[in-house]
Amino acid sequence: MSQSDSAVRPTRKVETLDQVVIRFAGDSGDGMQLTGSQFTNTAALMGNDLATLPDFPAEIRAPAGTLAGVSGFQLRFSSYDIHTPGDAPDVLVAMNAAALKVNLGDLRAGGLLIVNTGGFGKKELDMAGYPKSPLEGDALRAYRVVAVDLNDLTKRALEGLGLSMKEALRCKNFFALGVCCWLFSRPLDPTETWIKSKFAKNEQMVEANLRVLRAGFNFADTTELFQTVYEVPPAAMPKGTYRNVMGNEALSMGFLAASELSGLEIFLGSYPITPASDILHTLAAYKNFGVTTFQAEDEIAAITSAIGASYAGKIGMTTTSGPGVALKTEALGLAVSLELPLVLVNVQRGGPSTGLPTKTEQADLFQAVLGRNGEAPIPVIAAASPSDCFYAAIEAVRLAIRYMTPVILLSDGYIANGSEPWLLPKVADLPKIEVRFAGQNGEPTPANFLPYLRDEKTLARPWAVPGTPGYEHRIGGIEKADKTGSISYDAENHERMCKLRQEKVNRIASDCPPPEFEGDEDADLVVLGWGSTHGAITGAVRQARAKGLSVARCHLRHVWPFPVGLGPILKRAKKVLIPEMNLGQLWRLVRSEYLVDAISLPKVQGRPFTSSEILEKIQSLS
């Protein structure tokens, strides 16, 4: 990456850091998500490792200036391998009083605080509930404060361009971004390129944003506000080509990959819901991949249309969040009974009920594993990080087809909207997914097709799709006779079928890789995690091990059934710690399965664990 010529090297003291955590915070209308993404993009291009954590209110634009309307974006970028968006920010950019109020508590002592004094008028202070301005007095003594009137500077940068005051002020986030680029020795050109393509249809906006961005950079360069400029050298990452990716994006691409690997087209039946909607949006754009996206009238139609599509020979899938899964429960039971492939993605958010729609949580595990009427076993897998969503999606499709079963894939708001650099795979290296439609492999047409005759190894039944002559058959949600699939109310048959369906799912436990394990085999403490706690646990365990503690970690991609290797790991440990963003759901499942007196570390705050929270607990147990 060559430095753009607008970015002349400053002559200040240069300090090299191995990592920085920065948080941009402002009003929902201030464009903080955009600022954060652009800064992230630039960090990625500079070869840093990184992780992000966007955080915004459920309302589209909560009233300007209120606490409820504050939107934030946290980014951690580094010159070494990291796993979380960081605990306490080193740098906080606060665009108004409310943003300061909401975020100040998180800033680490001695951290850098950049405030836009233009957002601290009487009205803003009132709305934030500040009786007097925190910028006066010593309320901020613990921090290095840089107070600038970004409103004013932005307006001035745009003078003569003929923008209204309102339009002009909307650019101020680029001023802040320019300042930060200067401060952390970032080039402007990735953002400039982005501005040019984003506003391609509006030359005035291109001009305005570019001006403000550069003005911010130059302002920082010129003024004496900053004594130091920082550098965060690239991280030593494995060789290969990278892109920055968010979880929902990676998940969507994973489905496209599964489609290519299986040779089947995708049918996505979905109903919009935060934080899952972006998967629908993303896939809707890839019609040339043969994707059908169907925005259904509700969640029930979404999943049942997907079941219909699977019946007809596509990969039926449905994406939603907790309340949507609740509505899909009955249809999931049907899918279990039909034994058709189906993938349900739950991008979990804070519950119960509507809960915290834009916040993250892992409290839908019970629902995924056990939340149905009757004996209705469904395998559950979980994605560990934004880029891991790609592989998790492929695995979900593989299991669904191989075992002729619905599969639940759990993601959550944190990894869905969070991002990280992704070492891109070669498509040719990804393993194919085998599909065998009955009657389409040149076999002789049976006199009497048996739709519930099972594969010996997987116990999967055949997939015979409408259109195949000689394979006409009837299926349904009433109990079926073994093999023939006819309606049966027979007592022994019912028990046999219940057990067969259970056994089929159980077999996945030995048809998946052993759980990820890191650390000494004989460590005293094993920290067990699933889903998006992966990064925080990894960070904490590495730090603990660096401190010499006897601790290892184990991570579940296949959450249910538990992979065969898990039992020995847990039984051999003296203590097992399970951090989860819920009140102890995996914890209860582990106890029931292995009778292991595991220790729960619950967190239900709508936000991810920090590594230090976990490290602290590890230390207290060592």
Q: Is 336 near its own copies (CB under 8 A)?
A: yes
Q: How far apart are CA 49 and CA 537, in angstroms?
A: 17
Please report where in the chains the tokens 């107070």 appear, as a residue: 147
Q: Work out which of 46, 273, 336, 598 binds ligand TPP, going by CB under 6 A.
A: 273
Q: How far apart are CA 403 and CA 342, in angstroms?
A: 10
Query: What are the DSSP calls for 555-608, one per residue?
Result: EESEEESPPTTHHHHHHHSSEEEEEESSSSHHHHHHHHHH----EEEE--SSSP
Cβ 494 vs Cβ 479: under 8 Å: yes
Residue 468 or 493: the one with the smaller Cβ distance to its own copies is 493
Instruction: Take residue 343 and report the two structure tokens written for it.
Output: 């993938």
Q: Which of residues 56-95 bind another protein (CB under 8 A)?
A: 57-64, 66, 68-69
Q: Is 275 near ligand TPP (CB under 6 A)?
A: no
Q: Is 546 near its own copies (CB under 8 A)?
A: no
Q: Work out which of 272, 308, 371, 565 binds ligand TPP, going by CB under 6 A.
A: 272
Q: Is 323 near ligand TPP (CB under 6 A)?
A: yes
Q: Which of residues 402-431 bind another protein (CB under 8 A)?
A: 424-427
Q: Is 236 near its own copies (CB under 8 A)?
A: no
Q: How far apart are CA 573 and CA 562, in angstroms?
A: 17
Q: Is 240 near another protein (CB under 8 A)?
A: yes
CB atoms within 10 A of CB 500: 16
Amino acid code (one letter) for 400: A
Spatial CA neighbour of 460 closest among 437, 439, 441? 437
| Only segment of 40-48, 78-86, 216-224, 323-331 that touches ligand TPP (CB under 6 A) | 323-331
Q: Is 389 near another protein (CB under 8 A)?
A: no
Q: Is 333 near ligand TPP (CB under 6 A)?
A: no
Q: How far apart are CA 603 and CA 608, in angstroms?
A: 8
Give the three-state DSSP class for 373: coil
| Only segment of 80-88, 113-121, 467-475, 516-524 that touches another protein (CB under 8 A) | 467-475
Q: Work out which of 265, 479, 516, 518 binds its own copies, going by CB under 8 A.
A: 479
Residue 423 touches which member of ligand TPP, its own copies, ligand SF4, none, C-beta under 5-8 Å by kind: none
Residue 243 or 591: the one with the smaller Cβ distance to its own copies is 591
| Only segment of 144-152, 164-172, 197-205, 351-359 that touches its own copies (CB under 8 A) | 351-359
Q: How far apart are CA 322 and CA 384, in angstroms?
A: 18
Residue 306 or 416: the one with the smaller Cβ distance to another protein is 306
Q: How far apart are CA 301 and CA 304, in angstroms?
A: 5
Q: Alpha-carbon Rg of the chain, whole angstroms?
A: 27
Residue 35 or 277: the one with the smaller Cβ distance to ligand TPP is 277
Q: Dihedral sign for Cα 605, 100, 76, 356, please.
A: positive
Residue 61 or 574: the one with the smaller Cβ distance to ligand SF4 is 61
Spatial CA neighbour of 563 closest among 516, 503, 509? 509
Q: How far apart are CA 510 and CA 80, in angstroms?
A: 35
Cβ 25 vs Cβ 99: under 8 Å: yes
Residues that contact another protein, how many (by CB under 8 A): 96
Q: Is 190 near ligand TPP (CB under 6 A)?
A: no
Q: Is 324 near ligand TPP (CB under 6 A)?
A: yes
Q: Which helix (H) or strand (E) holds 371?
A: none
Q: Which of residues 16-75 bind ligand SF4 (CB under 6 A)?
A: 60-61
Report the interface residues with ligand SF4, using CB under 6 A.
Answer: 60-61
Report the interface residues with its own copies, using CB under 8 A.
Answer: 57-58, 68, 321-323, 325-327, 329-330, 333-334, 336-338, 348, 350-359, 361, 363-364, 366-367, 370-376, 476-479, 487, 489, 491-492, 494-495, 498-499, 501-502, 582-583, 588-589, 591-593, 595-597, 603-607
Report the interface residues with ligand TPP, using CB under 6 A.
Answer: 271-273, 299, 323-324, 327, 354
